[in-house]
Amino acid sequence: MDEGVSRLIDLALAEDIGSGDVTSEYFVPADSRSRAYIRAREEGVIAGTEVAAEVFRRVDGDTEVKILLQDGARVVEGALVMEIQGSSRSVLTGERVALNFLQRLSGVATLTRRFVDEIKGTGARILDTRKTTPGWRLLEKAAVVAGGGSNHRMGLYDRAMVKDNHLAAEGGLDALQKAIKQLGEEMPGVGVELEADHLQQVEAFLKLKGVDQILLDNMSLDELKTAVSLRRGGTPFLEASGGVKLDTVRAIAETGVDFVSVGAVTHSAVGLDLGLDFMEG
């Protein structure tokens, strides 16, 4: 497991348990053992099963956890996602933290799938952004993939994304081309994306060498179609961005762009309704 995710689990458990689970310690017999299931209470897409399972194991290494549905699985109300067996106290202590991870990440996957389904058949793909919960980026981006989306850059280090403020400080196209060339020579594995606010910029950027992707920021449908027509061949890739919603994403994808980036899949996702139920007897 990723070291950052591992630390996040430990922080979440420490935050919730503190000096101890007083309810379980005083109201649940120490020798009580139980079997419980995490169950979907509404339709959606599951994500975060491994991290949820790890929560229960961190609380008690003797807890047995069986993942019944893998990340990316579509669920209906009543579907069983995970089985947990062990000390009743331990299961109860881990319940909320495990569900917090699973519900949040399944919400991201579910919303992503809705966007992906909306543009089915267009040839475009849904991208996430860096608008993620601090500390949760790796998990939320994995949830986007579980929902059928694709990841944009993970951070500032794995792709150069030159925006309007960078361009204002750069000093013109010649300086921009020089910087692209230098980056390509010194860090050949890092892609280059340029943000265009208007079609004149698109035309200028298409003349540069070494550009992998152009972000078309807040352009109208007609402007997006024109930008696509200006490109000769399949590169650089074109990405539409800016205030994309479920009721607008298909029209955007139908302009012919390669990607539509949607910050909402992470910053506006609502947790999927999941619950943990103990089996009687």
- Residue 65 is encoded by which pair of tokens? 């956890």
Q: Are 56 and 89 in contact (CB under 8 A)?
A: no
What's the whole-number mean pLDDT along residues 227-251? Answer: 94
User: Does the structure show a pLDDT above 70 at 171?
Assistant: no
Catalytic hit among 131, 159, 225, 250: 131
- The ranges assigned to domains in the chain are 3-115+269-278, 119-267
User: Does the structure show a pLDDT above 60 at 281?
Assistant: no
Helix/strand/coil (H/E/C) assignment for every residue in 54-72: HHHHHHCCCCEEEECCCCC
Q: Which residues pair with 215 in a beta bridge?
A: 195, 239
What's the whole-number average pLDDT of the chain? Answer: 95
Annotated active-site residue 96? The verdict is yes
Q: Which long-range contacts (CB under 8 A, 24 or more apart) does 62-65 make?
A: 62/86, 62/87, 62/90, 63/87, 63/90, 63/91, 63/94
Catalytic hit among 35, 41, 57, 96: 96
User: Does the structure show a pLDDT above 70 at 169?
Assistant: no
Annotated active-site residue 212? The verdict is no
Residues 6 or more apart whose Cβ sits within 8 Å of residue 77: 40, 41, 42, 43
The structure's pTM equals 0.94
| Sign of the dihedral through C-alpha 105, 74, 111, 117 | positive
Annotated active-site residue 41? The verdict is no
- Phi, psi angles (nearest 5°) of residue 45: -125, 135
Annotated active-site residue 195? The verdict is yes
Same CATH topology for 3-115+269-278 and 119-267: the answer is no
Annotated active-site residue 225? The verdict is no
User: Does the structure show a pLDDT above 70 at 165?
Assistant: no
- 3-115+269-278: CATH homologous superfamily? Quinolinate phosphoribosyl transferase, N-terminal domain (3.90.1170.20)
Decide yes or no: CATH 3.20.20.70 for domain 119-267.
Answer: yes
Grouping H, G, I as helix, E, B as strand and the rest as coil, residue 254 is coil
Catalytic hit among 74, 163, 225, 231: 163
User: Does the structure show a pLDDT above 60 at 188?
Assistant: yes
| Rounded percentage of the chain residues whose pLDDT exceeds 70 | 97
Amino acid 40: pLDDT? 98
Over residues 21-72, the pLDDT tens digits come to 999 999 999 999 999 999 999 999 999 999 999 999 999 999 999 999 999 9
